[in-house]
């Protein structure tokens, strides 16, 4: 995908579609879409810096009762240990720095690793008992 | 859906009725420009009505924080009105709910501004 704001919006819409097809209930789908939006903002803005020469790879995979979403940019690479805690009193009123926190808030698992070049973010959400069965949702 | 902002005056308070999404790009810019414009005109008692705001992302949260700080730094007050459940929950998990002065009732919110 191109390093544009339009890609961020497209990815968010795709997340809604995939999570619906996977059987997640409405509130959970909203959280998944937000996590994908935040990961895409990270990739497009902070990773690729809107550089038209750089792209973002987005994949959705359903593995049993898990939805696995991977977002990879071509930026300089993000070290998750260097991301400040947005809930710390000294960071609470900062304008930015909440993206990864929100991904972690809405997903069951968030993995961030440096690749060459860029950053790969893997978002994982597992179906709960109140969600639909994946086969039921896809029919 | 893009964001729209319209302003009205009630008892010296500027109420900004926002609708749509406050997200990276247009939505955040509309909010930033609206608050900047009001401060430029000396209107420092600002009530942001978020009743029709369906969605806010991290950029939108940042813009709300920035607006709050800008108004406060100029000796004014910014309050939030009519949060939807989604926005309420988002401010709760980011620990900003207690930072902002959040109101459910417009008349009560206007009275709460310092005279």
- Beta-bridge partner residues of A122: A70, A111
d(CA A74, CA A92): 29
Token digits for A50? 């809107």
CA dist list (Å): A10 to A7, A43, B81: 5, 14, 30
Distance from CA of B25 to the nearest CA of A (A): 7
Q: At what angle do helices B26-40 and B58-73 cross, to 10 degrees?
A: 10
pLDDT of A16 > 60? The answer is: yes
How many structural domains does chain B have? 1
The pLDDT value recorded for residue B1 is: 57
Residue B28 belongs to some domain of the structure: yes
Inter-chain CB pairs, A–B, below 8 Å: 45
In chain B, which stretches have pLDDT less than 70? 1, 115
Distance from CA of B86 to the nearest CA of A (A): 9
Q: Which domain covers residue B62, as residue numbers? A: 4-110
Q: Which domain covers residue A58, as residue numbers? A: 5-138
Residue B115 belongs to some domain of the structure: no
d(CA A42, CA B57): 12
Find the CATH number of the domain harbouring A124: 3.30.565.10
Which pTM was predicted? 0.89
Positive or negative: CA dihedral B80, B100, A83, B84:
negative
Find the CATH number of the domain harbouring B86: 3.30.750.24
Task: For A90-104, write each residue's pLDDT tens digit.
Answer: 999 999 999 999 999
CA dist list (Å): B65 to A10, A95, A96, B73: 27, 6, 9, 12
How many structural domains does chain A have? 1
Task: For A48-89, write each residue's pLDDT tens digit.
Answer: 999 999 999 999 999 888 999 999 999 988 888 888 999 999
């Amino acid at each position: 995908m191109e390093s544009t704001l339009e890609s961020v919006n497209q990815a968010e819409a795709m997340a809604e579609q995939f999570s619906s097809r996977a059987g997640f209930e409405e509130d959970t789908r909203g959280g998944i879409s937000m996590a994908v939006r935040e990961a895409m903002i990270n990739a497009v803005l902070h990773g690729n810096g809107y550089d038209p020469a750089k792209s973002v790879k987005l994949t959705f995979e359903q593995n049993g009762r898990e939805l696995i979403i991977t977002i990879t940019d071509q930026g300089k690479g993000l070290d998750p240990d260097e991301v400040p805690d947005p809930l710390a009193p000294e960071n609470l009123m900062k304008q930015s720095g909440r993206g990864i926190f929100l991904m972690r808030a809405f997903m069951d698992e968030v993995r961030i690793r440096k690749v060459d070049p860029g950053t790969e973010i893997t978002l994982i959400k597992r179906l709960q008992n109140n969600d639909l069965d994946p086969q039921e949702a896809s029919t | 859906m893009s964001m729209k902002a319209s302003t009205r005056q009630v008892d010296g308070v500027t109420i900004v009725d926002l609708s749509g999404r406050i997200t990276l790009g247009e939505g955040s810019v509309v909010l930033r420009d609206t608050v900047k414009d009001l401060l430029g005109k000396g209107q420092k008692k600002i009530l942001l009505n978020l009743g029709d705001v369906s969605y806010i992302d991290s950029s939108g949260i940042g813009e709300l924080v920035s607006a709050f700080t800008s108004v406060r730094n100029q000796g004014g007050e910014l309050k939030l009105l009519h949060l939807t459940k989604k926005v309420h929950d988002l401010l709760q998990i980011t620990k900003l709910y207690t930072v902002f002065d959040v109101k459910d009732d417009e008349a009560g919110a206007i009275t709460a501004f310092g005279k």
